[in-house]
Structure 1
Amino acid sequence: MKTVSVRERNQLNFSGGPGALPESVLRQLQEAIHAVPEVGLSILGISHRSDWFAAVVAELQSNIRGLLGLPPSYHVLFLQGGATQQFSMVPMALLAGRSRPADYLQTGYWSGKALPEARREGPVRVVWSGQACGFGRLPRDEELDFASDAAYLHYVSNETVEGLQFHRVIGRDEVPRVCDMSSDFLSAPGEFGRFSMIYAHAQKNIGPSGVTVVVLKDGLLDGAPDAMPGFLDYRRQIEAGSIFNTPPVFAIYAVLLVTRWLRDDVGGLAAMGGINAAKARLLYRALDRADGFYRPRAAVPDRSTMNVAFTLASPELEKRFLAEAEDAGFSGLAGHRSVGGIRASIYNGLQLGAVEKLVGFMDDYRRRHR
């Protein structure tokens, strides 16, 4: 049997997902796998029909509304299928059977994945596409011509693959905004009340894979088709309190612990946003001062505070970088399979000290290989 070194057991997680979880949350989850203190049973064996789990769901709904600054008129659901299932559920509810197109933005890999699913249900108008610029930037306001009567507007707030992030709310206030916030959900404050629907799978900033958070405004579903399958109908999920079928109890409990950590330990989204901005500044500064050795992918105004994507001068240098980084204790730095290169994901659970160590490694690597 192979002996596992201390270094191998303590890799720093810079993966695009699943992302790092806070140390205090990991400790609580470790205890809960053995026995949840207030129940005396393993979290893996507690019934989803128990009073304890009903209280977990209720508290988590309240915590998410509180962190986002939203009133009780917003429903909070905990669904399955990831953001990929939302690519289909959204147009099934809001576009099917309607003559007015929905406005979509194609700003990267994941927003592109949403398009064919929407087109299965109804007409789609691509307001702007970044294909011509290789998805190296986001649109400027003057490039966007939104329809005032669109069924809804759909966009991705943070493109995980390309490292692009909207730092403003776009669209018309009279048109429902639907936003995939999977990779920057609960990472910073924002104008969340301007959105009719927000969805985010958990495995970036707020928990392990297996649960997707959907936040939707009351009244949004008026006029949705009646013949939808129950599992795919937001209204049935609301009626069932996110327990239409057996939900991922462990994953939902983990998200609850993360929201408590954000609220009580971090101090809310403004404080979390400040920490994330500091991590991003440190890493981008290392790229910009490297005299072209490291080459950031994203245009400066659109750089993501969650996913820092860059390349090196040659595939050989990138391959060596990844190998040496892994050996030095940095995990998950390979870029997405669709674009290659390097990507450092610096989600909520990753501490500033981890970024400082990565920057030190990058500076050393540049000195040795330039």
Structure 2
Amino acid sequence: MAPIRVLVVDDSVVVRRIVSEALASDPAIEVVGVAQNGSIALTKVAALKPDLITMDIEMPVMDGIEAVRALRRSGVRTPIVMFSTLTSHGASATLDALAAGASDYATKPTQVANPAEAVAVITSQLIPKVKALCGASPVAASAARPRSGGALTRAPRAIVVGSSTGGPEALSKLFGALDAPLPVPVLVVQHMPPMFTTQLAARLDRIGPSTVVEASGNERLVPGTVYIAPGDLHLEVKQLGAAVVTAVSGAPQVNFCRPAVDVLFRSAVRTFGGDLLGVVLTGMGSDGRDGARELVDAGGRMIAQDQATSVVWGMPGAVAAAGLAHEILPLESVAGAVARAAQGRLSGSGVRA
């Protein structure tokens, strides 16, 4: 199999070298070129036709966000992974880049002792993303069929959502497409670090009719409000007297993730039983599959995003392949299906992936 050809774009010669070294450590990846700014990157993309681009955000001449916009305007669909700093500004800029058409992001290593440690940090983050964005789905769409029967047929008491790679934009489209706040509380796990989830909650709050907050723990669940799991903390729900409240914790990672979708789904089943609607959107890996199984076994209903509209069909593909999705839907259909299910009006069998 031919190696994955990557173009590295960064104004720092040190960062270009570290990223190139990290990528070159995997024989399945080849760095075919580097560029110092977005303008040079446009020329090199046209000449080299890489399989994937890593893109710094802040660069002279043309920054990474404008480069992403220019590439997408010209019809280039090559996956783009942004490099961001773990700051509030970096988080906001990263979300702008994702909205402009970037596929995913990685965070620059900070407080590392030496270049070798920086290479190791970038390698662990970046190589799985490169392979997921450029590789075939681990699940064949033809193997996934909507589940028939046995699902919740009345309005759920809560909705739980999981997403990862491509999730910020998928969530934006989901909540932005709603005509009115949902009549039940919604809890969301998006794999993101601290500060990024704060910015994500603020952005989602602005674009749709729902009130969206980053969960901090002990908030009483109320209809029409969306609770986003905070970065690096698991989000759960628990019964507290007559109320159901949020709970956050730094418990060990699950599926190499914190927050983890499985943790949220399982706690929701413990609290609400089968009176739940679960939604799994685009993302790497299989986080959410085991929690979805518990939700469905309890009598809840599951929706999975389809392969064609997923940036990576890992998480929703795992749910679909396990036979746990009552509906397998394109992203543009998910908001309508969620709104109908929230009101107890089911949309019937799902679209086959």
- Report which of the two structures shows the higher radius of gyration computed on alpha carbons: 1
Instruction: Verify same fold: TM over 0.5.
Output: no
Query: Structure 2 length normalisation: TM-score?
Result: 0.31
Compare relative contact order (CA 8 Å, sep 6+) and give the higher one, 1 or 2.
1
Which structure has greater strand proportion?
2
Query: Structure 1 length normalisation: TM-score?
Result: 0.30
